[in-house]
Amino acid sequence: MAGRELEGRRIIVTGAGSGMGRAIATLFAEHRARQTLFDVNGEALAALNIADADTAVVDVADLAQVEAAIGAAAAAMGGIDGLVNAAGILRVFPFDETTPQVWHEVMGVNLHGPYYLCHAALPHMKRAEKATIVNISSLAGLIAPEGMTAYAATKAGLIGLTRVLAADLGPKIRANAIAPGVIKTAMTLGMVQGSSAGVDEMGRSNVSGRPGTPEEIAELALFLSSERSSFINGTTTAIDGGASWH
């Protein structure tokens, strides 16, 4: 159901071309946010049909691109008071097969990228009355799985970054993280060679007995970006069907 949770807000969503980022951008539009949507995939951005949103092709691992895109977005929207870092990549290698090239690639997108975006957006957020940052981490950042050396390290680092942001920037700017478990996205499908049944099987390992959906992640991102969560700051919320405690 459409609402007005984010009416008047000016928000950047990264990784908006697909998966959780696209679901977040779609829901935020339904709640009247003014958005600028970043993704490295220009074709995916062009295929979006989201109201009151501009798009920009941005590699979040490239500091110069991020700074230019943030400046353009702030000028177009009249400021920035919200950021959702949903862009991310997954490379599945155990430690002894994690080359420096893989390490730096994953680190660049998953951890350097959110830092670049937060740092570039900070002057604009400071000028806003209130602002929010939501970082999409992962269950892998809480419970490091085998074979995800670089990915787990970056997602744990993102949780740490979120806490520092909350401590250093609060109370005017709130920062929280989301740690999804098995969610049915193209990234997860890639882990099982595109098998939807394979993702369902992975999801059955949690208490809820199924994988989550991007739309369920979007609902939590909406809550953490709205005034309904005004007393929540520096937290990491697992949304994983119970996998992290069971």
Q: Which two tokens stand for residue 201?
A: 């099987």
| Strands of the 173-180 sheet, one edge to the other | 53-57, 34-39, 10-14, 82-85, 131-136, 173-180, 236-239
Q: Is 151 known to be catalytic?
A: yes
- For the chain, the first-to-last Cα distance in angstroms comes to 32
- Establish how many alpha carbons lie within 13 A of residue 230's alpha carbon, considering only the half-sphere containing its beta carbon: 5
- Report the alpha-carbon distance of residue 93 to residue 146 in Å, rounded: 9
Could you give the dihedral angle defined by the CA atoms of residues 121, 123, 128 and 133, in that order, rounded to the nearest 10 degrees? 30
- Report the alpha-carbon distance of residue 223 to residue 115 in Å, rounded: 22
Q: Which of 151, 157, 183, 229 is catalytic?
A: 151
Strand-pair partners of 2: none
Active site residues: 151
